[in-house]
């Protein structure tokens, strides 16, 4: 996979039909930015923020969702605080938009101080990211997310690859579940992906159904050093653009 170039968007950047935009952002932000993001959130989002026990987690939630509103408002030419979110029966969020506006699909993931976003017109998308961190009990973790055949493949890898492989598998499966809207309703063992961290990312089967690349297309992501993520897009390969989020450029 060719290493993507992350660019700063110009004010007139628009989303092309059939393509996907991926954004990366830092969610540990100055207090002045946090105050602005807070004003963009709905009462329901503010209530969710209040439920976090630790201030750091609460602040990251506020920033991640405020940034989401800033990004989506750019495509819709609507005030970010005016956007209305709803959830499917399985909990996947979606935008309520008037018929004259494009049917945006989006997904958000964050890990510690970083966040990634995927946005498309009409195509379902799912995205996930994990910052690299020590993981010790691979036997226990593998039993939670891998079926028996995948466990055999995983433990057949050289031990030195287990750490990278686990992060690859986790993010690939999470992105797939988020893209199809299944979320926690479908066990991870029912999502089959390529196991090796060096193999091209592919969604092989979903809930017993073999998946072709023309149905769901998967890409690995490496937004920052010591991070690993995955992107899943409905409808096969397409053009992807990579954007760096900047508060200053988006708020101007």
Measure the CA dihedral 60/133/176/4, to 10°. 80
The DSSP output letter for 7 is B
- Residue 139: predicted pLDDT: 78
- Residue 136: predicted pLDDT: 67
Distance between CA atoms of residues 96 and 231, nearest Å? 23
Contact 23, 119 (CB under 8 A): yes
Question: What phi, psi does 58 have (nearest 5°)?
Answer: -65, -45
Tell me the pLDDT tens digit for each residue of 59-72.
999 999 999 999 99
Contact 175, 126 (CB under 8 A): yes
Distance between CA atoms of residues 191 and 150, nearest Å? 10
pLDDT at 102 over 80: no
Q: Of 183, 221, 181, 186, which Cα lies nearest the Cα of 201? A: 221
Distance between CA atoms of residues 226 and 117, nearest Å? 18
Percent over 90 (pLDDT), the chain = 72
Q: In what order do the strands lie in the sheet with 125-131?
A: 125-131, 227-234, 216-221
Which residue segments constitute the domains of the chain, with CATH numbers given?
Answer: 19-252 (3.90.470.20)
- From its phi and psi, is residue 85 left (phi > 0), alpha (psi between -120 and 50) or beta? beta
Question: What phi, psi does 71 have (nearest 5°)?
Answer: -65, -50
pLDDT at 252 over 70: no
DSSP assignment of 118-179: EEEESS-EEEEEEE------HHHHHHHH--HHHHHHHHHS-GGGHHHHHHHHHHHHHHHHHH
DSSP assignment of 32-93: HHHHHHHHHS-HHHHHHHHT-SSHHHHHHHHHHHHHHHHHHHHHHTS-GGG-EEEE-TTS-E
Contact 233, 20 (CB under 8 A): yes
pTM: 0.94
Distance between CA atoms of residues 37 and 62, nearest Å? 6
pLDDT at 220 over 70: yes
The total number of residues shown for the chain amounts to 252
Task: Please name every residue paired with 234 in a beta bridge, in sequence order, or none if there are none.
Answer: 216
Tell me the pLDDT tens digit for each residue of 178-202.
999 887 789 999 999 999 999 999 9
- Residue 103: predicted pLDDT: 82
pLDDT at 246 over 70: yes
Distance between CA atoms of residues 26 and 53, nearest Å? 21
């Amino acid at each position: 996979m060719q290493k993507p170039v992350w660019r700063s968007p110009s004010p007139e950047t628009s989303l092309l039909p059939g393509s996907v935009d991926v954004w990366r952002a830092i969610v540990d932000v100055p207090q002045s930015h946090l105050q602005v993001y807070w004003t963009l959130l709905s009462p329901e989002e503010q209530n969710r923020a209040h439920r976090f026990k630790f201030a750091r987690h609460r602040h990251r939630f506020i920033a991640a969702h405020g940034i989401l509103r800033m990004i989506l408002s750019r495509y819709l030419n609507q005030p970010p605080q005016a956007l209305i979110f709803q959830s499917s029966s399985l909990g996947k969020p979606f935008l309520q938009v008037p018929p004259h506006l494009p049917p945006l699909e989006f997904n958000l993931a964050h890990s510690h101080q970083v966040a990634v976003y995927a946005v498309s017109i009409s195509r379902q998308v799912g995205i996930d990211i994990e910052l690299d961190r020590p993981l010790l009990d691979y036997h226990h973790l593998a039993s939670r997310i891998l079926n028996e055949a995948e466990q055999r493949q995983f433990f057949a890898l050289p031990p030195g690859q287990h750490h990278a492989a686990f992060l690859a598998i986790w993010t690939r499966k999470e992105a797939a579940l988020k893209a199809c809207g299944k979320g926690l309703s479908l066990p991870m063992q029912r999502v089959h992906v390529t196991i090796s961290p060096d193999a091209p990312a592919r969604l092989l089967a979903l809930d017993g159904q073999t998946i072709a690349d023309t149905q769901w297309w998967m890409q690995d992501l490496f937004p920052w050093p010591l991070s690993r993520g995955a992107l899943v897009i409905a409808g096969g390969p397409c053009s992807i653009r990579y954007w760096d989020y900047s508060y200053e450029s988006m708020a101007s």
